[in-house]
Amino acid sequence: MQLYPLKFSPIFCYRIWGGDKLKTVLNKNYQEESIGESWEISDVEEFNTVVAEGELKGETINNLITKFTSDFLGKSVYQNFGEEFPLLIKFIDAKTPLSIQVHPSNKLAKVRHNSFGKNEMWYIMEADENAELIVGFNQKVNKDTYLEKLENGTVLEILNAEKVKKGDTYYIPTGRVHAIGAGVLLAEIQQTSNITYRIYDYDRVDAKTGQKRELHNDLAIDAIDFEHHKNYKTNYSAKENESNTLVHSPYFKTNILKLTEGVTKDYSNLDSFVIYMCVEGDAVLESNGAKYQLNLGETMLIPACLNDIHIKTKGATLLEVYM
């Protein structure tokens, strides 16, 4: 059996804050209400995505790594991560705000949870008028001030809220307090981790449980980076029909491809799988003489052994992700 460009069947996750844009905008197929996240590619325990099409249909991503090792991941990625897939790829729809939260570092997550940390990035696909994100602090803050604000319910006063629009991009390193606001649809790329420390949740009650959601402030206080930054948004150029650097971190690299015509990508020097997230338009990928359709809201993984990818389109924006 040979590897080919792979789509996976998404895993749809109920969230108290979820809406219906994953269905109405991104054409996802599900019946449940309040679906907030579509896990496109996941190796999180008990949330292992499976191949949707072709000869390998039904194979989990974990099985693919076991069978194809470095042909699937790339030699250096396989050496560093073994049989664990290093990234978790999602689309997120927030009808109402997410909780204020923070993720632990690799070191802290390893000690506490035997997990990777959760460095992540957001690419805004759609935002309602006046939609916001919370990213970091809006002033210099120390631990005592933070705890005082948290205790008296005024923690939002010291958090940095920014209005967002389509195309805005944010890198969220571990330790940075953050939240996606109401009316935001985005693509999220992150380390494989499901560890989140919830700080503040607007005193909401989950209709499914009848309970307020658990907060994790005892764990969060040691994870928070209190440093204040003047700018949290990622600046980038977007020259048409070429890969433009979006976020390059030690944990993943993401470029943006704004395509108005077909291009050919040569990955022979990359030594990594590549993931395409289609955030606008649609395209057809060609590999080894076969064609693969990629529509808005779909994700495709190019195994490391496939070097030449031809992308045909009359208009598409792709996020290009690799290690």
* Binding-site residue set: 103, 120, 178
Residue 221 CB neighbour total at 10 angstroms: 15
User: Would residue 15 show up in a list of annotated catalytic residues for this protein?
Assistant: no
For residue 136, the one-letter residue type is: G
Residue with token string 């020259």: 239
DSSP 208: T
Binding residues for Zn(2+): 103, 120, 178
- Catalytic choice (15, 198, 204, 213): 198
Q: What is the DSSP string of 171-201?
A: EE-TT--EEEPTTEEEEEEEES----EEEE-
Integer Cα distance of 185 and 91 in angstroms: 7
Integer Cα distance of 153 and 183 in angstroms: 24
First-residue to last-residue Cα distance in the chain: 25
Q: What angle do CA 255, 296, 281 make, to 5 degrees?
A: 80
> 131 — phi, psi (to 5°)?
-65, 145
Active centre residues (catalytic): 198
